[in-house]
Amino acid sequence: MSPVHLAAAALVVVIWGFNFSAIRLGLDEMTPLCLAGWRFALAALPVLFIARPDVPLRVIAGVGIFQFGGQFVFLFYAMEAGLPPGLVSVLVQLQGPLTFLLAAAALGERARPLQWLGLAIALAGVAMIARSVEGSAPLAAVALGLLSALSWATGNLFMRHARGGNLFAVTVWASALPALPLLAASLVVDGPTRAPAPLLAPTGQMWAVLLYSVAPAMWLGYFIWGTLLRGYPAARVGPISLLIPCVALGFAALLFGEQLAGLRLVGVIIVLAGVAAGLFAGRERDRAS
């Protein structure tokens, strides 16, 4: 990669790594549905002056439902249920090996043995993490984290068909799809006072989280990531994502005192090792093809 692209990759790693801590701060002020609904409503504002990208509507819908709506709703509920932000950032990295698993099941793509081995290793690490959270967070929180990764992986199958379009336009138009349903769900589930909290009872922390999650984390982050994927093979860009949970764990330790030790630390290392094995197996496959 060129120095400029390396710097851009480092920037997106920091942005997305800190985003997990920002979400934790946001959940202190808003419910998961409220935070998700307002996040995507604000992210979708540019649709007022940006034309729909030249990609099929089903692709935009798939990205909006799975890669955006499903991924973040499950992630927010996992954190509200007690899963710390650093640990969530590790679990969602399973989207990598889960993507090739879904591609193999739904699209008939063939995976290399090392990719299957990487998935098995990562799942063994998840089992260790699940045991480590007993007593500090419900196992349902781990399950929600895994559903977030699965939803992200499903969205990846749609996103691959969006590479021919303007990626910023894809991001904002896909954000528009889950925004209103999530805000409506928040109104029903959370009540008429909590759903419009950013307007009726705004706080500086609330709006700082919303603006951060939209401008740097969505608009800039997905633009940079998409630019890198267009300029370099996915197998070269993909492993960079392994740095995101490392940064997220650092911010979580600094801001919330999140500690990793014993079985939980071993589980985190095993998950990242399994994800890395799958990513580098994909890299070798791309070289051979």
Instruction: Give pLDDT, residue 289.
Output: 47
Assign 3-class secondary structure to the chain.
CCHHHHHHHHHHHHHHHHHHHHHHHHHCCCCHHHHHHHHHHHHCHHHHCCCCCCCCHHHHHHHHHHHHHHHHHHHHHHHHCCCCHHHHHHHHHHHHHHHHHHHHHHHCCCCCHHHHHHHHHHHHHHHHHHHHCCCCCCHHHHHHHHHHHHHHHHHHHHHHHHCCCCHHHHHHHHHHHHHHHHHHHHHHHHCCCCCCHHHHCCCHHHHHHHHHHHHHHHHHHHHHHHHHHHHCCHHHHHHHHHHHHHHHHHHHHHHHCCCCCHHHHHHHHHHHHHHHHHHHHHHHHHHHC
Amino acid 65: pLDDT = 94
What is residue 140's predicted lDDT score, i.e. its pLDDT?
84
Q: Look up the pTM and report it.
A: 0.84
User: What is the span of the domain harbouring residue 274?
Assistant: 3-288
- Give residue 110's pLDDT: 67
Number of domains in the chain: 1
Ranges of the chain whose pLDDT falls below 50: 286, 288-289
